[in-house]
Structure 1
Amino acid sequence: MLASPPANSSQEVLLAQKIHNYCRPGESMFLALETKSFLINICGGDNPYSYVGVEKRNRKNNIRLALSDYDAQGTYFEARNGEYTYILAETPKGKFLTVSKGTREILREPVLRGW
């Protein structure tokens, strides 16, 4: 049987430091997740209203978009940027980030952490 680390251990601090927060000061962070290529936050106030995506390889490549749709249960978030649509969805096969251009899916990555 493995013993749990003490509540104030360095392991707990390291876990807390891994949570990325790209929300603006005063915003609530509804969701923080990671895919193979991106760090993503869903930010807002009383309700979620922004999608923030940051490329892991080059954190200067980031985008902040207004949510165009979401469900109150927190299983679906959608943001649009011109002809690009960013969707975070919980499906029977797992949780995914999907990016589409028009009707063509150009990226689908499973959520590795968070949510």
Structure 2
Amino acid sequence: MTSSAPQTQRNALAPGLLAAIALFVSPLFTEGLGATIILFVVAILALIVAWFAWQARQWWWTVVFVGVAVVWNPIFPFGFSGPVWIAAQIVAAVTFIAAGALIKNERTTP
């Protein structure tokens, strides 16, 4: 028995949760290789979530996550530190979780 309601899928949920985990553990890595790896992970996952938002036609999330990718870029890091940076990481983690839960695509059958 099939329902007539369209089924949706949340493609951005897994990358959003992974990025949130990385951001929540990032205060443990303030310098060195660990901090660089966190920057890479967050920037890449931000671009992945932005792509899923674009595909779902929720462009406002695309703008947000392109901005996150720029701020957390590992190639030209801004070098933020202190309590404001830790607060920004927590806000970004919550944003990733919210986007993962809210970005939905209609499921297509092959």
Please classify the TM superposition score into its range, dividing by the shorter chain length: under 0.3
Which structure features the higher share of strand residues?
1
The structure with the largest helix share of the pair is: 2
- TM-score scaled by structure 2? 0.26
